Structure 1
Amino acid sequence: MPRDAAGTRQRLLVAGRRLFADNGVYATSLKAVVEQAGQRNTSALHYHFGGRDGLLTAILDVHNARIETARQSMLDAPTLTLDDLVAAVVLPQAALLHEQDGREFLSIISQLSDLFDRWEDGRTPEQAMRAFLGIKQRLPADLPDDLRHERVTRFLELVAQALGSRARQIDAGLTPTVEHDTWVDNLATMAVGALSATGRGRGRPTPPARAGSR
């Protein structure tokens, strides 16, 4: 790729990441991305990415590659507990809170939670899938497969929303009330507790007795 073309592609990536994070993935116009990148029309964006979905995928791929590398080193341990697997999901993403572009990535991910239910469809990155399947296999033995899938999905939503919220808080110039390491440890602890909970149906209220019933 010529140097000027590579530079244009990178500027579009940066502009897309920033605007998607700040204004919303689907609320941001492609024209706004192009203008932010200093281009004259959307043809450059379509040339490099094909459209919105291609741009979004490219933005996510940059950070997913880093996360996958960090995650692999955590998953190559000889034995892995549920705590270890949750940490392998949470910690590599939480490390991105220290960087502007990482926080933008986390903010974008938190907007995509309606897609999380598809994590077993074959498109999840390899190391992420290793962690997710490992978690699924270590859930309470009496959970049927559909509830195992559901529980992992809700875990992913919990983590994404928590990280996205903290990223936006930091970028707004607000000082979090809990320091980073303690906050991350607490998030992982909450996630393990939710994943390993037993007693299906205990949260359902008992219906009131009908008048005159015995």
Structure 2
Amino acid sequence: MADTRRALVEAATEVFAEHGVFAASLVEVTRRAGQRNRGAVHYHFGSREGLLAAVLEQHAAFLAQREGELLEHARTTPDDDLGSVLEAIVRPAVELAETGPSGRRYLVIVGELVEEYDRVHPDVAEALRHTGGYDVYALLEDRMPPLDDALRNERLALVTGFILRSVADRARQVDSPGRAQLPTERFVRNLVAMAAGMATAPPVDV
């Protein structure tokens, strides 16, 4: 039973990353998991959403732990230091991507879910929350320049999307090489600096 669930989660991670969370075929998931019963996903997870939540739980503990460690450091830095806070978002994701194919595929999936958050089922949203992030974003909001609510929320959404797309794109490049990639540490520092620039850009008046 446990082996079947694990095989389905591993296959789903591949298929969701390759074809997209909302477009992927559950039949393809069961096929890659070596299951002849087309109802295996529903039997073990109840639904597509249940399977997706299980996929997200795979690396949630790693992300939450690393983020928490970096957040503790960020809290010791000056009140105007956004870089250390953003590093608590960027570095765990990059580290996960470098653990292997499963981590890279996971980040591609998370990036899509954040991009399409309005379409995400509540059970999947709850699984996303387990990866951490809320305490980091609370500190990030505190350290951003004064902005009205609408502009601050827009910037946070754009910064988040930019970070996750950038890390996911880098992850994809490992399996399908394209343009040359920066070394890991330089990539992290550059992405943090660019995200900080987005967050601290001068306010825009109507």
Smaller-chain TM-score range?
Answer: 0.7 to 0.9
What RMSD in Å do the two structures reach over aligned CA positions?
Answer: 2.1
Distance 1:94 1:126 in 2: 14
Letter in 1 for 2:138: L
Distance 1:126 1:36 in 2: 26
* Structure 1 position 44, deviation (Å): 2.0
Paired position in structure 2 for 1:115: 117
Match of 1:197, SS? Answer: coil
Distance 2:111 2:131 in 1: 20
Counterpart check, 1:84 vs 2:84: yes
Paired position in structure 2 for 1:20: 16
Paired position in structure 2 for 1:209: none
* Structure 1 position 7, deviation (Å): 0.2
Is residue 117–residue 150 contact of structure 1 (8 Å, CA) maintained in 2?
Answer: no
Deviates more, 1:125-134 or 1:11-20: 125-134
Structure 1 residues 138 and 106, CA, compared in 2 at 3 Å: closer, same or farther?
same
Paired position in structure 1 for 2:101: 100
Paired position in structure 2 for 1:165: 169
* Structure 1 position 153, deviation (Å): 0.9
Counterpart check, 1:35 vs 2:31: yes
- Larger Rg: 1 or 2? 1
Match of 1:40, SS? Answer: coil
Instruction: Give the aligned length.
Output: 194
Letter in 1 for 2:26: L
Letter in 1 for 2:82: L
Paired position in structure 1 for 2:156: 152
Structure possessing the higher relative contact order (Cα contacts under 8 Å, 6 or more residues apart): 2
* Structure 1 position 125, deviation (Å): 3.5
Deviates more, 1:171-180 or 1:39-48: 171-180
Q: How does 1:27-66 map to 2 (within 5 A)?
A: 27-66=23-62
Distance 1:17 1:165 in 2: 16
Distance 1:39 1:150 in 2: 44
Distance 1:53 1:84 in 2: 34
Paired position in structure 1 for 2:140: 135
Deviates more, 1:96-105 or 1:40-49: 40-49
Unaligned stretches of 5+ residues in structure 2: none
Distance 1:16 1:180 in 2: 28
Letter in 1 for 2:111: S
Structure 1 residues 50 and 104, CA, compared in 2 at 3 Å: closer, same or farther?
same
Paired position in structure 2 for 1:208: none
* Structure 1 position 199, deviation (Å): 3.5
Structure 1 residues 135 and 116, CA, compared in 2 at 3 Å: closer, same or farther?
farther
Distance 2:131 2:196 in 1: 22
Is residue 34–residue 40 contact of structure 1 (8 Å, CA) maintained in 2?
Answer: yes
Counterpart check, 1:192 vs 2:196: yes
Structure 1 residues 102 and 170, CA, compared in 2 at 3 Å: closer, same or farther?
same
Letter in 1 for 2:201: A
Match of 1:76, SS? Answer: helix
Distance 2:170 2:137 in 1: 23
TM-score by length of 1: 0.83
